[in-house]
Amino acid sequence: MRRAYKFRLRPTSKQADALTACVEDHRQLYNAALQERRDAYRAAGVSIRYGEQSAQLKDIRRADPDQGRWSFSSQQATLRRLDKAFAAFFRRVRTGQAPGYPRFKGVGWFDTVEWPKDRDGCRWDSTPDSGQTRVYLQGVGHVRVHAHRTVEGAVKTISVKREGRRWFVVLSCDEVPAKRLPETGSAVGVDVGVASFLMTSDGAQIPNPHHGRRNAGRLAAAQRDLARKKRGSNRRRKARERVAAHHARVRRQRLDHAHKTALWLVRHHDVIAHEDLRIANMTRSASGTVEKPGVHVTQKSGLNRSILDAGWGVFLNVLHAKAESAGRVVVAVNPANTSRTCPECGHCARENRVTQAGFACVSCGFAAHADVVGATNVLRAGLVLLSA
């Protein structure tokens, strides 16, 4: 199987400056290639493709020493990135979606450089005898890596990513052996929510940590401080970095919680069924238009904020990845009426859902926690799909 490993880089001050220059030069290359495509189409109706732009790299590197010091392969990867953006644009045009023409990347909107092949302008763990893990990057040198786990499989691509003031290396590895866990003979249904993060069909509950809500005060203070700073000043730049650091901290907390919860499920259950949620649709704004204004806009915006704060999408992605590695089965089922259907008699009615947490069947009188009922119905639907 294929797996990605993400490690913190520990560059020296000179290496950090070189990494910043590397990202900036690749950003300028991306923008220049985009400008060339736009000008060619506007002037002559000609579409320029990746092969033509890649053939110009030798001349660019010869004429521009700044571009010449970086890996040729990494610059090709940047041009492929632009080519993929155009391919996605044309695909959306053909399918009638909002086209979304590729945009120029401003400072702070281009933070990743990829080396598409190990030992081609980059080298992973190039000095293993020193007792420290390092990665070699052309134009930067041997950068120390905080490798907190063992890398398995064959390293295929190496990427460097900037997150605020931090630098990370991301390794994409092939032929990673799957570590199958012993079978437990257990199957479970999962109902995610806002009041509690997760409820299982056997009654286990994971509380909602509310990472965003708990950090909202400090984030609001940092944003107010940012609003008072003069645009273009160093103080505004530092204030903007503090705001980004608060967002990054919440993102790391949310991801950590998702990993721990998913690992707990995978270790204790062979089959895991969950709702096939359309989170983008669920968090769509209710404001409406001037002609048809929305209703309950404030309540809906608060619900949207709580759903996004819970991080259901992150959790489900992590759950599927861990289940694949452990040899578990994860099945997504249609969530329609799972919390309104009685698990005893099968009667489905809106009146069955008494309150947020209360379920009482109006037909047979069965009563239980509404989230447990939803998780039970999700499990049954999942087992039906697996047996079909």
Give residue-wise pLDDT tens across range 322-353: 999 899 999 999 999 999 999 999 999 999 99
Q: Could you read off the pLDDT of 35-71 as tens digits, one per residue?
A: 999 999 999 999 999 999 999 999 999 999 999 999 9
| pLDDT > 70 fraction of the chain, expressed in percent and rounded | 98
Per-residue model confidence (pLDDT) at position 163:
92
Residue 13 belongs to some domain of the structure: yes
Does residue 361 register a pLDDT over 70?
yes
Q: Could you read off the pLDDT of 141-199 as tens digits, one per residue?
A: 999 999 998 999 999 999 999 998 999 999 999 999 888 999 999 999 999 999 999 99
Task: List the beta strands (DSSP E) in 125-283.
Answer: 134-137, 141-146, 154-163, 166-174, 187-192, 196-200, 205-207, 271-275
Per-residue model confidence (pLDDT) at position 178:
83
Q: Within this chain, do residues 147 and 196 fall inside the same structural domain, yes or no? A: no
Q: Within this chain, do residues 252 and 362 fall inside the same structural domain, yes or no? A: yes
Residue 358 belongs to some domain of the structure: yes
Reference 192, options 275, 252, 263, 250; nearest CA is 275
Q: Within this chain, do residues 128 and 201 fall inside the same structural domain, yes or no? A: no
Does residue 131 register a pLDDT over 80?
no
Residue 337 belongs to some domain of the structure: yes
What is the number of structural domains in the chain?
2
How far apart CA 264 and CA 177 sit, in angstroms, is 21
Per-residue model confidence (pLDDT) at position 127:
62
How far apart CA 119 and CA 122 sit, in angstroms, is 5
Residue 227 belongs to some domain of the structure: no
The gap between the terminal CA atoms of the chain, to the nearest Å, is 27
- Where in the sequence is the domain holding 317, given as residue range(s)? 187-209+245-387
User: Is 173:358 a contact under the CB 8 Å cutoff?
Assistant: no
Q: Within this chain, do residues 149 and 279 fall inside the same structural domain, yes or no? A: no
Residue 125 token pair: 């763990």
Domain boundary among 174, 199, 231: 174
Per-residue model confidence (pLDDT) at position 126:
62
Report, as an integer, the average pLDDT of 363-386: 94
How far apart CA 79 and CA 312 sit, in angstroms, is 33
Residue 376 belongs to some domain of the structure: yes
Q: Could you read off the pLDDT of 270-315 as tens digits, one per residue?
A: 999 999 999 988 888 888 777 778 877 888 888 899 999 999 999 9
Per-residue model confidence (pLDDT) at position 128:
55
Q: Could you read off the pLDDT of 13-34 as tens digits, one per residue?
A: 999 999 999 999 999 999 999 9
Per-residue model confidence (pLDDT) at position 129:
57
Per-residue model confidence (pLDDT) at position 328:
95
